[in-house]
Structure 1
Amino acid sequence: MTTTIRPSTRAQTVGRVVLGAFLLFAGTAHLTFARETFQAQVPTWVPLDADFVVLASGVVEIVLGASLILLTRWRIAVGWIVALFFLAVFPGNISQFVTHTDAFGLDTDRARGIRLLFQPLLIAWALWCTGAWSAWRART
């Protein structure tokens, strides 16, 4: 059975470009002005140097952001990869909540808890705007 990849809607295209721009900005922040703040978010149980984790994740975010914007032919695969990236960094967000670590103005448990609610939305956004979710559903 062959599945035809549907073209993106205008809303999906805008959503994909906005998400790509968000990742480009966040990745640049990792490498520059917010580097120390991001280090505070690296859980202590990660067996790597916090600065290395921040730099590496910043590079990954830049690559993913550019891929969302430029690699339209592979948008479905990119969507799954971006969703997996958001899933992979989620434990760091949980750690920030559990350890009461202040960063990015998240200086209360309520603020950190609200942030946790947005991570699944980022995953859903990546899957929706790239057509990855609808392509998976059409496959079954």
Structure 2
Amino acid sequence: MQVYKWTDSLKTNIDKIDNDHKLIISKAQELADAMSQGKGKGQIVETLGFLQKYVKTHFAEEEIMQQKAKFSDIEMHKKNHTYFINELDKLSAKIAQDPTSTVNVIELNRLISGWFMNHIQKMDVEVAKHINGNNKN
């Protein structure tokens, strides 16, 4: 069973981003816990609804920070954010058609454990280095 845990490898040293990531990881862990108790199908609608609302705001805030810091690869970062939002929307449509599908629960877990965690560790940490470097000037 996937365990979502905050580690130093996810740290950006930007409080707002780190706190948002911690909350998202906490919600992902709630889904993983529900899955291990056989209650994932009941939890998926709540988790997905939270993610669809929360990440849009979170991503917009990240992109504003990137613009202010004149981050050179902002367009690639935006494309990655759009991809994740689109994947959540596709999954939401699947869940609306079949809310009891175990496959959908597994798919959301895969999206969080794969894309989101990788995005934080690779892209967000690199962006944060740029933003933090600009804030020192």
- TM-score, structure 2 as length reference: 0.50
More helix by share: 2
- TM-score, structure 1 as length reference: 0.49
